[in-house]
Amino acid sequence: QPKDTMRLDETMLVKQLLPEICHFLHTCREGNQHSAELRNSASGVLFSLSCNNFNAVFSRIST
């Protein structure tokens, strides 16, 4: 695949994944013994996405 197409695919995946992660972080407050560990893992994924796909994440947050 050309680089532009790969970048577009990555951006679309980030835009689809970001709401799911945010929803997960919001709904997984408490309730089981692993919720803090799961939230930390999801936060790490969100941080990595924001570092590697800043424009896609920022444009999603600002809308």
pLDDT at position 35:
78
Query: Whole-model pTM?
Result: 0.56
* Low-confidence spans in the chain with pLDDT less than 70: 1-8, 28-32, 56-63
> Do 28 and 17 form a contact (C-beta atoms < 8 A)?
no
Q: What is the pLDDT of residue 57?
A: 67
What is the per-residue DSSP string for 24-62? HHHH-SSSSTTHHHHHHHHHHHHHHHHHHSHHHHHHHHH
| In the chain, where the domains are located | 34-63
- Give residue 40's pLDDT: 85
pLDDT the model gives residue 41: 85
